[in-house]
Amino acid sequence: MPSPYRAIFGRPGTKSFSAAGLLGRMPLSMMGIGIVTMVSQLTGRYGLAGALSATLALSAAVLGPQISRLVDRHGQSRVLRPATLVSIAAVAGLLLSAQQRWADWTLFVFAACAGCVPSVGSMIRARWAEIYRGSPRELHTAYSWESIVDEACFIFGPILSIGLSTAWFPEAGPLLAAVFLGTGVFLLTAQRATEPVPHPREQHPKGSALRSRGLQVLVVTFVATGAIFGAIDVVTVAFAEEVGHKAAASLVLAVYALGSCLAGAVFGLLHLKGHPSRRWVVGVCVMAVSMVPLQLVGSLPLLAVALFVAGLSVAPTMVTTMALIEEHVPRSKLTEGMTWTSTGLAVGVALGSSAAGWVVDAAGAARGYLVPGAAGLLAALVAFAGYRRLRPRPAPPVTGPAATGGLSSRQDEPVTERQDEESVR
């Protein structure tokens, strides 16, 4: 039986844009930790390093959806290149100002401007959605593949960024991240054949994709989910330091990503029945339950096992989220809709890491795992409360002459929010 992953790459151009997406997404896991490593080495000020990383994350969270909205309207090639050039120039200014010990405010200005970085993952998923429109099985496999790529970036990106900055020179990690970003975006935008068709202003419905009730549930849930990720990163580093093996923290966190990567690979081979909203709620709840064992670990090996198990629910939940976005957001706003979930994650990461740092300082690393536990519970509650918005709604009853004849058999078919909006247009 042929592999579903091999099958999705049978279309021309798919291998090329997916490879470009891998390069373009590496900065997602390299830039923030690279800035922390660089600034802490150059100045010894961890508070400043963390604040700059948070500034970059929040800036990207604010600017990312606006860039994606322009992409939906004007196309990837016209928008991504100038946005990327602005981001790379800002990173160069940040590296120079840190190396030359310029005033702190210049660092924050450059970090904020560096947030003008496109959501490359959303651009790649939008291309898959365009190619496999109307083919849910192939699209499910494609989204699973991209989740595997995401996790691979989070496994190798921090190790590469930290390793270069500590072994070569402090600016090496962020510098390589900027090179990856520029190369990936240039290669991606050069591939015009697979680029989704833009929707100009006259064809573009007014308002943000966030007006979708279903997308609102996904984004709020992803804020809580992002808090899980941000808190786990901070607390795991603190826990490893407390037990005397701080360098092992990156390996333990890589195991967390590895669990998600393996689960995503298996999930892409499955052809599950039923509406994705049910699988999504189950995935969020399993993610919340997987935080419980973290409260009980007392050593790094046990922590690695607990995080590996916790990671198994991450990629399947992310894949199902993409399927729900594709269903609930109009196609003319699909890239923006996907980027809003990334924004929710980024905001959650910033909140979770801050809360976890406060708890660790006040009560120790072991107590710090209460933060991802609380965030998981919040995510599950929001998912349950918003489940009705994600389910397909039954079609309104047909009245009049159309109530009889060949169309009457379609009365009970589900209607999604996206179909409602597109029918109005």
Average pLDDT for 58-84: 86
Is 368 within 8 Å of 231 (Cβ atoms)?
yes
Low-confidence winner among 8-22, 125-139, 197-211 (lowest mean pLDDT):
197-211
Is 173 within 8 Å of 37 (Cβ atoms)?
yes
As a whole number of angstroms, the distance between CA 69 and CA 63 comes to 10
pLDDT per residue as tens digits for the range 216-256: 888 899 899 988 988 887 788 778 878 877 667 778 888 88
pLDDT per residue as tens digits for the range 7-33: 888 888 888 989 998 999 888 878 877
Which residues make Cβ contacts (< 8 Å) with residue 395, sequence separation at least 6? 410, 411, 412, 413, 414, 415
Which residues make Cβ contacts (< 8 Å) with residue 318, sequence separation at least 6? 147, 150, 264
Whether pLDDT at 50 is above 60: yes
Whether pLDDT at 204 is above 70: no
Is 329 within 8 Å of 209 (Cβ atoms)?
yes
pLDDT of residue 244: 78
Domain boundaries, the chain: 13-196, 209-390+412-425
Whether pLDDT at 126 is above 70: yes
Which residues make Cβ contacts (< 8 Å) with residue 211, sequence separation at least 6? none
pLDDT of residue 81: 92
As a whole number of angstroms, the distance between CA 122 and CA 261 comes to 18
* Bridge partners of residue 393, in order along the sequence: 415
Chain mean pLDDT for the chain: 80
Q: What is the CATH architecture of 13-196?
A: Up-down Bundle (1.20)
pLDDT of residue 415: 41
Q: To the nearest 10°, the Cα dihedral for 241, 243, 248, 250? A: -50
Fold match, 13-196 / 209-390+412-425: yes
Low-confidence winner among 68-82, 145-159, 185-199 (lowest mean pLDDT):
145-159
pLDDT of residue 399: 46
* Bridge partners of residue 397, in order along the sequence: none
pLDDT per residue as tens digits for the range 319-331: 888 878 877 777 7
Whether pLDDT at 412 is above 70: no
Which residues make Cβ contacts (< 8 Å) with residue 180, sequence separation at least 6? 23, 24, 26, 27, 30
pLDDT of residue 109: 93
Whether pLDDT at 425 is above 70: no
Place of tokens 């992409």: 71
> Of the segments 113-117, 304-308, 316-320, which one has the largest average pLDDT value?
304-308
Average pLDDT for 154-172: 81
As a whole number of angstroms, the distance between CA 296 and CA 135 comes to 44
* Bridge partners of residue 299, in order along the sequence: none
The topology under which CATH files domain 209-390+412-425 is: Growth Hormone; Chain: A; (1.20.1250)
Low-confidence winner among 62-71, 90-99, 109-118, 242-251 (lowest mean pLDDT):
242-251
